Chains A and B, each alone.
Chain A
Amino acid sequence: MPRLLSSPASLAVSGRHERQAGRRLDRRLTMELGVISLLVGLLFLPLPAENLQLISQMNQAVMVLGAALAVYVMLRLNLLHFGVPAFMAVGGYSSALVAIHITDNVVALVAVSLVVPALVAVPFGLITLRLRGTYFALVTFLIGQVVHLAILASDRLGRTDGLTGVPAPTWGDVVMGDALTTFRLGLVVCILSALLVAGFMSVNSRRIDSLRSNEVLAASLGLRGWPIRLGSFVVSAAAAGASGFLVVNTLTTAHPSSFATLSGVNYVAYVVVGGAASIVGPLVGTVALVFLVAQFASEGVYASALLGGLLIFTSLFLRGGLTSTVRRIAEWLRDRRTPVPRASRQRRAVDEGQS
């Protein structure tokens, strides 16, 4: 019986296979490392500390990037997650409680905002394990509602007033209270979230791609789907929780209105408009939409209209969001200049398909 690796043909097979898989992993890994490097680079960028408006706007984006990553993780499984505000609230409120009653050490606060939502996510994740497709999306709205109502019902959490006067985080003797430090802290937290998300997805990339592509087939080949789904849900909650911490830290208040159920729509919009092919999508979507809303729609109602219009436009005309559209245009331009042989067009179709 011929064995898989014995013949020259199969050696070529395995070699080619490794190159193929390598190429696919390379591209996404490159994107992930690129985004993380960008965030690290921003950390060291000298910013004019007096330009409070600029710093505040950059902070706005950084604050919610984690929430966009939380949506992204689930969207890689083709699942729309509207319950991100719930886990932001868990992270925000738990870090606020710790800061008020126990310690304001920044490491403790960030750790709490990552771990507590991850733990809370487990029972909710189990509930959603057997839900598919858009039904999952519906239920995530309900999860958002439940957490929101629970917060409103809790005296400990300040009910409709929330928790005010949350102390600024400290690092040794340094109190991280000014705008620039808040922004840089936000960048660090984003880097952590991005590393968490990218790491999880790299380790599980083949399984995630298979579940996304054809869940029935993957199962009949022996893939256990639930660890990936539960894992994604937990990682998503951690990233959301860290974002919640940043929100509370910026406002120095843990308030229910920061985590309104319908705000989950915003984070989904960032990823849908930006694209979910790689981690660049949520980054692009968050920055673009936060900027657009700040420039053209400073009043809440116009922001809603803008977001809604963008969602409609993207769904109908920009399949895959901005990043995928840009890539398709770039390839179309490249094809026009040099005719592409069929074999490498096939390979490219494979690469593209992997996203």
Chain B
Amino acid sequence: MDTLIQALINGTALGAQYAMLALGFSLVFGVLGVINLAHGGFYMLGGYFTYSLTSGVGLPFVPALILGVLGVALVGYLVELVLIEPIVDDHEGTLIVSLGFFLVVIAAVTVAYGPEAVPIEFPVSSVLRVGDAYLPVARLIVIAVAALAVLILWMVLFRTRHGVALRALAENREVASIQGLRPRVYFPVAVALSAGLAALAGGLVLPIFTLEPPVAEVALMTSFIIVVLGGLGSLLGAAVAALAVGLVEAIGGAYLDGSTTKLLLFSGVLLLLLLRPSGIAGRSVRDA
């Protein structure tokens, strides 16, 4: 029973982190129509920027995290302006360009920080005990911050004028443009937002686990599986799928082993695709 509770807590924390990751990825696809492979890189940069600001500059963790997130958001903004915008209507081209950036970023980080994990620690390492279950406070903080971030994102998208504009552009770019919404202004913002969310996830979580270059690829694959499961372009689907994947991974990890769980998860999603090509909540497409 305690194993289960433990797993549920871990799973929720994982799901929360995944939600931040996947929402940004889905947002960029929804608004720009672009599959941004650099997304895993933003996650990784969130961790490394925070690390540099804490150990290099000596800032306390929270300001370092905030600055790190802003820094990565700026990187995202520039990536959209310089790399994506020139070819934004070419779906294959933008995927390739974002892939190129992903590779370059990983290489840059490896050169700058080395291929091994860097020593960074989450400032809070206390543990709560509930019965026989151990609840690391760090994980609870992750859940709280992620929930807050998702709530703020939701409010921005659904309650502010600019958020509504973003969603209108996602829904139907032509009509939205005719009505005066300028994609050129909103696209970089969408990518910046998505990068910031990924960086927040990375900056929060990577110190808890390990911060090393391979995490970028893992984050990318995780984003893929979640958005495919939840439906490409559906924010709610991404959030629900993120939680589901987090729970499955944690519970599977508790009773089976990590890679078997992953194998079952990935196979399951592929099988689902056979029946529902657009995922659980994705837009149904006969000819995408």
Contact = CB atoms under 8 A, between A and B. Distances in A.
User: Are A and B genuine complex partners?
Assistant: yes
Interface of A: 78, 80, 124, 126-127, 130-135, 137-139, 141-143, 145-146, 149-150, 152-153, 215-216, 219, 261-262, 265, 268, 272, 301-302, 304-305, 307-312, 314-316, 319
A124 B267 CA distance: 11
Contact of B111 (A135, A149, A301): A301
Given A301-B107, A304-B106, A315 B100 contact: yes
A83 to B, nearest CB: 11
A interface: dominant SS? helix
B92 A134 contact: yes
A219 B287 CA distance: 10
Category for how many chain B residues contact A: 35 or more
19 contacts: A124-B270, A127-B270, A132-B285, A132-B288, A135-B288, A137-B35, A137-B92, A141-B221, A142-B228, A146-B263, A215-B287, A301-B110, A305-B108, A308-B103, A308-B105, A309-B100, A311-B99, A311-B100, A315-B96
Nearest to A307: B103
Given A304-B104, A312-B83, A312-B97, 11 more contacts: A127-B270, A130-B277, A134-B35, A145-B262, A272-B96, A308-B101, A309-B104, A311-B100, A315-B96, A316-B86, A319-B93
A141 B97 CA distance: 17
A145 B273 contact: no
A265 B266 contact: no
Nearest to A305: B107
A142 B287 contact: no
A312 B221 CA distance: 21
A-B pairs with lowest CB-CB distance, top 4: A308-B103, A311-B100, A132-B288, A305-B107
B104 A305 contact: yes
B274 A126 contact: yes
B228 A304 contact: no
B103 A304 contact: yes
B269 interface: yes
B67 to A, nearest CB: 26
A307 B105 CA distance: 12
B80 interface: no
Contacts of B99: 265, 268, 308, 311
Contacts of B23: none
B96 to A, nearest CB: 5
Contacts of B227: 138
B95 A137 contact: yes
B105 to A, nearest CB: 8
Given A141-B224, A153-B260, A308-B102, A216 B287 contact: yes
B63 interface: no
Contact of A127 (B102, B274, B288): B274
B225 interface: yes
Contact of A308 (B87, B104, B224): B104
A138 B274 CA distance: 15
Contacts of A137: 35, 92, 95
A9 B105 CA distance: 61
B31 interface: no
Nearest to B287: A216
A142 B221 CA distance: 7
A152 B259 contact: yes
Contacts of B142: none
A272 B100 CA distance: 11
B232 interface: yes
B159 interface: no
Interface in B240-270: 259-260, 262-263, 266-267, 269-270
Contacts of B232: 135, 138
Given A135-B232, A301-B115, A315-B87, A308 B259 contact: no
B212 interface: no
A142 B224 CA distance: 8
Contact of A149 (B105, B228, B262): B262
Contact of B103 (A133, A138, A149, A311): A311
Interface string B44-86: 0000000000000000000000000000000000000001001
A223 to B, nearest CB: 13
Contacts of A219: 287
B270 A142 contact: yes
B95 A134 contact: yes
A139 B92 contact: no
Contacts of B95: 80, 134, 137
Contacts of B102: 308
A304 B99 CA distance: 11
